[in-house]
Amino acid sequence: MTKKAPPPVYKRSLLSWVLYGNIKLQLLLVVIILVTVVARVIPLEMQKRIVNHAINLRKIDLLFIYCGVYIVAVITASGLKYLINVLQTVIGQRASASMRKEMYHHILTLPLSFFNRTQPGMVVSSLINELATAGDFIGMAVSIPVTNVLTLLAFAGYLIWLNPLLAGLSLAMYPLSFLLLPMLQRRANNENKKRVDTTRRLSDKIAESITGVHEIQGNGAFRIENQRFDTLVDKLLKIRIRWNLFRFGAKVTNNFFVNLSPFIIFIVGGYLAIHGRLELGALVAFLSAQEKLYDPWRELIDLYQAYEGASVSYYRTMEYFDAMPEHQLEPLDRNPHELNGSIDVKGMSYMTESGILLLNDINFDLKPGEHLAVVGFSGSGKSTLALCIGQLFKYSAGQVLIGNEEVAALTKEDMTNNLGFVSQTPFIFDGTIEENLLTLRC
């Protein structure tokens, strides 16, 4: 049975990277999280026993035992939390590296027409900045929800075991925040999309100005270019302010409900303790558990915001590079062709994406060993003709045969094994002469 090919990188969902190359690490992470949650609940029970059993009964031996268990649990939880952060970082950075590699490999195969309309700054920004945000989220995608959901359940269960009434009143605050937080987050997401798009336009503008700085200086176009740039900066300023206002609004709303819960505990718990219906140690443990409930809840809110922010950056990037190579890179079920060197062009035409006809009904043929000089004024199509024959531009009509094989049907490997290019504007890559020569030979 033929193995199904994986989807191209630009079609992959953000969550598909969670287990990509990290299954063993994610499983190890879950095991460590389970132990960590248990270690975080133990100190709550020790607080209750220290107050009710050791201090109340004046037993020094129990005080040392419970305090010993308490400190061991705290040290264990702290050490495991550090280990979780290490694994989370490794997973996130590996995901970022994989995204960058696969996207870079994909970008290099895109048609030249794509690069003619794309600023280099935008490509750099997408690979370095936008995908880094997505990678950071992938690192948290398992550890944060598993850790904090289990912690919330463990603490909530412990609170219910201590006093169902107090637990119910305390936990009732959290569902209320679900009504407001999604609304604020949706508004923040809309502004974040605008932020990503405007940032890209700003990057393109900077790259364009630097590339064409000789035109700006030669024509004294400083004021015009400054106005264009300043307009984009001012637009981005307003968007970022609105984006942060909605983000902070979500956090403030969450903090309000979290801080409201201890007030209820003091009122109701204090009343029950005064009337002897709740042990003092249980009240202390309850207040401690209630305080600790804030951390997992806050981290879940932060994760939700990180996911929304990463989703915007990730899918905007994937949408931008949603394009296929014009030609297959390698033959699937054969060796590369060995062509005899003859060239036969029959009625070949080339039209740009904007509808400009650069070449029309070109006809000629060359036998192996023959030479052809193409003469014409600048812009007449000499280079375009060579690029069409070399498969760098996809001709719109007609035929181009090399060794009796249609160029449009050949793979890139077929072409590079039989054809060499000497560019009219040679480009020197960063590195040694040897590395540049090897690049040309690959």
- 3-state secondary structure string, 324-336? CCCCCCCCCCCCC
- Average pLDDT (120-147) is 84
Structure-token match 């014409």, residue found: 376
- Helix, strand, or coil (residue 410): coil
> Residue range 318-340: average pLDDT?
84
Average pLDDT on 282-292 reads: 71
Question: Phi then psi for 224, rounded to 5 degrees?
Answer: -65, -50
- Which of the pair, 248 or 233, is modelled with greater confidence? 233
**Each residue's pLDDT tens digit, 170-217:** 777 666 666 777 777 778 878 887 887 888 788 878 878 887 888 888
Phi, psi of 302 (to 5 degrees): -60, -40
Would 23 be classed as within a structural domain?
A: yes
Query: What three-state secondary structure class fits 357?
Result: strand
Both tokens of 215, joined, read 């035109």
Among residues of the chain, what percentage have pLDDT more than 90? 5
Q: Is residue 383 part of a domain?
A: yes
* Average pLDDT of the segment spanning 419-423: 78
Q: Worst-scoring range by mean pLDDT, 78-87, 154-163, 345-354?
A: 154-163
Task: Give the pLDDT score at 441.
Answer: 54
CB 124 within 8 A of CB 210: no
Q: pLDDT tens digit string along 33-84?
A: 999 988 888 887 888 788 877 777 788 888 888 889 989 998 998 899 899 9
- The answer to whether residue 290 sits within a structural domain is yes
404 and 270 together in one domain: no
335 has pLDDT over 50: yes
Average pLDDT (383-394) is 86
Average the pLDDT over 106-116 and give the result. 84
User: Does residue 418 surpass a pLDDT of 90?
Assistant: no
Closest CA to 202 of 273, 119, 145: 119
Q: How confident is the model at residue 380 (pLDDT cuts 50, 70, 90)?
A: confident
Residue-level pLDDT at 322: 86
- How far apart CA 301 and CA 309 sit, in angstroms, is 12
Residue 148 lies in a domain: yes
Residues 126 and 161 in one domain: yes
Does 1 have pLDDT greater than 70?
A: no
If you average pLDDT over residues 385-392, what whole number do you get?
86
In a domain, 434, yes or no: yes
CB 312 within 8 A of CB 193: yes
Per-residue DSSP letter, 212: T
Local confidence band at 2 (pLDDT 50, 70, 90 cut-offs): very low
Three-state DSSP at 153 gives helix
The neighbouring-strand residues paired with 76 are: none
Who wins on pLDDT, 296 or 14? 14
Residue pair 277/165 in contact by the 8 Å Cβ criterion:
no
Q: Are residues 366 and 306 in the same domain?
A: no
Residue 333 predicted with pLDDT over 70: yes
pLDDT score recorded for residue 180: 73
For the stretch 255-266, pLDDT in tens is: 777 667 677 777
Q: Of the given ranges (107-116, 226-235, 299-308), which has the lowest mean pLDDT?
A: 299-308
315 with 359, same domain: the answer is: no
Give the separation between CA 19 and CA 142, rounded to whole angstroms: 9
Name, in order, each residue with C-beta under 8 angstroms of 429's C-beta and a sequence gap of 6 or more: 435, 436, 439
Whether 233 contacts 205, CB under 8 Å: no
pTM for this prediction: 0.68
275 phi, psi to nearest 5 deg: -90, 10
The CATH number assigned to the domain holding 15 equals 1.20.1560.10
DSSP helix/strand/coil, 429: coil
Q: Which residues contact 105 (CB under 8 A, 6 or more apart)?
A: 9
What pLDDT is stored for residue 208 in this prediction? 81
On whether both 315 and 401 belong to a single domain, the answer is: no
Q: Which long-range contacts (CB under 8 A, 24 or more apart) does 194-197 make?
A: 194/239, 194/243, 195/236, 195/239, 195/240, 195/243, 196/130, 196/312, 196/313, 196/316, 197/316
**What is the arrangement of strands in the sheet containing 343-351, beginning at the earlier edge strand?**
357-366, 343-351, 397-402, 405-406
Q: Residue 19 corresponds to which amino acid? A: L
Q: Is the pLDDT of residue 162 over 90?
A: no
| pLDDT at res. 337 | 84
Give me the pLDDT at residue 193, please: 79
Give me the pLDDT at residue 83, please.
Answer: 92
Would residue 110 count as lying in a domain? yes
Domain assignment of residue 104, yes or no: yes
Which residues are CB-contacts of 241 (< 8 A; sequence separation ≥ 6)?
none
Split at pLDDT 50, 70, 90, the class of 442 is: low
Q: How confident is the model at residue 22 (pLDDT cuts 50, 70, 90)?
A: confident
Q: What number is the average pLDDT over the span 289-316?
A: 78
Residue 158 has pLDDT above 70, yes or no: yes
Query: For 109-172, where are the alpha helices, taking DSSP H only?
Result: 112-116, 120-125, 131-140, 143-162, 164-171
For the chain, what is the domain count? 2
Q: Are 405 and 292 contained in the same domain?
A: no
B/e letters for 68-87, b = 16+ CB within 10 Å, e = fewer, are ebbeebeebbeebbeebeeb
Q: Residue 3 pLDDT more than 70? A: no
- The CATH number linked to 374 is 3.40.50.300
Domain with 378, as residue range(s), is 343-441
pLDDT tens across 266-277, in order?
Answer: 777 777 777 777
**Structural contact between residues 122 and 11, judged by C-beta atoms closer than 8 angstroms:** no
Contact status, residue 149 vs residue 300, Cβ threshold 8 Å = yes
Q: Please report whether residue 233 resides in a domain.
A: yes
Cα(129)–Cα(126) distance, integer angstroms:
6
Both 316 and 349 in one domain: the answer is: no
Please state, in angstroms and rounded to a whole number, the distance separating the CA atoms of residues 181 and 250.
Answer: 5
Rounded distance between C-alpha atoms, residue 442 and residue 437, angstroms: 9
